Structure 1
Amino acid sequence: MNDTLIQIITSIVTSIIAAFIFWFFVNYLPERSRYNKIRPKLEYDIYEICSSLFHFIEIPLRSNTYSPANNQAKLFAGMLNLDDFELALYTKCLNDSYKFDKVASCLVPIGDELESLSLDICQKAQQLYVFNQYLTVEEILLIRKVTVKLRAYSYNSVAAIEVGNQTLYPINPTMSYMCRNFYDIYLFFVQLQEIVFKYKKIDDTISGSIKRTISARRIMNYCHRGEYEQCLKYAKKSDDNLVWAYKFISLYKTNKEASAVFFLKQQLQTSNLELKYLRDTFYDFYKDEILKNILISCRSMTEYKEMADCIESEQNYSNQMILHAQNIRKYYKEK
């Protein structure tokens, strides 16, 4: 190899090394520092969007204006289907102008709340785009899909339409026609929630309970989806009192009954809460004889009876609401 070729190669290698050093100190390190400062705030903002999105899709699932949806756990876990939203939306209307027929008293107006919340979510999303270089492609595309779906319908229209000298009203004044859109938004929420679960940099100084809430919700979702081994895996890493119920359920459902019973007795001895306030934990198997005897022995028959009465009352109310919605749907489909 002659001297000229060696000089050329040396010059090229030296230039590459110099360019890399320049890029590393002038571009990469400052940009990485900026990313580490901005990303925690962006993760918090996306968490807030995810939380607001949950409230948006929860609104039509409420049985009335003031009570939260009674299937929130399944909602978080991604276990609802299209029919659940259709049935719920048959009991809702946009505003009082749609309450014009004999079913009017059964319809709950929710349009104003949806309008306000959808605009708020879209505004938060717009603010995020300013820092899109610090967002992943998946986050950008998913949030964009959410905002498009949120504004696909008008939430403040009125029922009556003037055509010449006539005033026309819709045959079906409910919001059931929006069920597919709400279901799509729900699926986007589930996807966004899974992204949030993976966040490592989220700013916990704004609200000290964010990481705790995210951890507990992930454990809860695994439990409600029947992914008990995953639930136990994450519950063992957590010292949060909020998750002991899911750990117990997962132990019991995976045939680790001895461990489950021992763990349950420990929790009942250290908790001052009455059984009726722990009813969600025993909702699916409060009639199980083994568990029933443990609950009675650790507490009392009176406490157990109060819990059982609460569970059965809630089950009856839920069944009544489903039947009520089914009757409204049948009425409009046969109209």
Structure 2
Amino acid sequence: MRPEPLRAALLAMPLVMLVLAGAVAPLGLLLWRSVAETEVAPALPRTTRVLRHWDGQGLPDDMAFEALAADLAALRAAGEPGREAMARAAERLAADHPALREVLPGTAERAVETRTTRATAILVADPAWGEAESWAALRRAGMEMSGFYLLDAIGLRQTAAGGLEDSRRGPHARALLARGIGAALMAVLACLLLAWPLARWIAAASPRRAALLAVLVAFPLLAGEAARSFGWSLLLPMGPEAALASLFLGLLPLMVLPIALALRRADPRLPRAAAALGLSPRRVFLRVRLPSARPGIAAGCALVFAQALGAFIGPGLLDPAMPWAAGALAGAAKAGNWGEAGGLAVWLLLPALLGAILLLRSGAGKRV
């Protein structure tokens, strides 16, 4: 490698490490939590090992009942740490199968009082252990990874037979995601309509005036996320419409500046030449100005869409009842439900990545 590229790479390395540490690593950890299972296997290690060999048909054999009795006895003997581990495991199982919320602690208490074999004691302690669905939920939650949180984020759950059905949240979860994506699309359209005249004004201005206008347009971004979130908290009592309006204005610079840059790079004589050749203003716009601005429009739409999908996380931390998926993500993170937050993050990230790829490919493929 020549000295110049090597020196440039070494100079850029601290910035690369900063980006990896500050953005990629936290996001990767959140996405990992969307598939990781960390509550049940540490609490019930014997049971989860036995259930890995269960085919899911009918009830598991007596070894599973014996293993569950041994795990519950070990948790009881561990005292307070055991009770905490049992509570976390019960909460995770209840998220998949609500009937299991009180089953683990109840079984641990009643199985001790039953003077019979451990397998029979577990079956007698609670009727839930006579149902295949309870064991299937325990097996899914005891794996190292599962799709539970990803499915739950869109209102689905896996059945004992391996099919899918509505989860306890069902249509509500899908409505949250739909409203979040719909709000992002509305933000893109509103910002695009508002950005075009501002971008034209900046592109046609002198260099000094264009720089001043660009700073004024970028002021909402320069104010910082904290100031914007606080402003949203003042608007939230007015309802989601006020928050949407604030969102559009806050993201407007991300649309204006790329379009203005694309128009400024284009040859300003082309629209005048097209008009001189007899093209109507509408045809000048469609055949000259719009193709010239297409790379900036693509970049602006991708940026606004990606930012709008997660823009309500700030106000969602203040009011988790916000009717968008980002508010639910914020509420889950605030409550420490990182698996639920990770599942929502995946479904919010996917449309942002797909939209960015499609728009940027469209813009790059039609440069003038």
TM-score, normalised relative to structure 2: 0.19
TM-score, normalised relative to structure 1: 0.20
